[in-house]
Amino acid sequence: MPRTAKSQTTSALDQIRKIAGPALAKVRSEIHAKEGALRRLKEEESKLVALVAQGGVSTSNGAPRPSSASNTRINWGSVLAKLPRQFKAADIRSVRVVKDKRSSELFAAITRWMEAGTVKRKDRGRYERVK
């Protein structure tokens, strides 16, 4: 009795499944092994970070790390609220949280304030809060 197209398709599919099954199992076991190795490396890294933080040694090129306060996000709206109605760019440095920021960051904030409509430019270097 001759084979039909359906039985040929089924047998080809069965052959692929027979090959793919063990390959899939092998890939899964490799993934599991790599995840375990990654987990161990992360634990080792966290131990080393804790050790470095305890000793006060920097993790970079020897320069001291900035304090955690400088790594936090700045609420520029509250900075604007602390400024006088008319201010210069230099007046922004009087606000404690931004005293060590680069001038480019300060001018970027002023630009955002102007685009938001909360600040108007009066003169060169002079600005005014709208509300």
Could you read off the pLDDT of 34-74 as tens digits, one per residue?
999 999 998 888 888 888 887 655 555 555 555 555 568 88
Q: What pLDDT shows up at residue 73?
A: 86
Per-residue model confidence (pLDDT) at position 23: 92
Dist. CA 33–CA 44, nearest whole Å:
17
> Would you say the C-alpha torsion 60, 62, 68, 72 has a positive or negative sign?
negative
Nearest-5° angle of CA 16, CA 22, CA 27? 115
Which residues are within 8 A (CB) of 100 and not within 5 positions of it... i.e. 6 or more apart? 70
Identify the band that residue 26 occupies on the pLDDT scale cut at 50, 70 and 90. very high
Task: State percent of the chain over pLDDT 90.
Answer: 47
What fold, for 75-129? Arc Repressor Mutant, subunit A (1.10.10)
Distance CA 11, CA 18 (A): 10
pLDDT band for position 110 (50/70/90)? very high
Q: Which of 131, 115, 120, 112 is nearest to 87 (CA)?
A: 120
Q: What share of the chain is helix, strand, coil (3-state, %, to 5)?
A: 65, 10, 25
Alpha carbon separation from 47 to 56, 62, 64, 65 (Å, rounded): 14, 20, 20, 18
Q: Where are the domains of the chain?
A: 1-59, 75-129
Checking if the pLDDT of 24 tops 80, the result is: yes
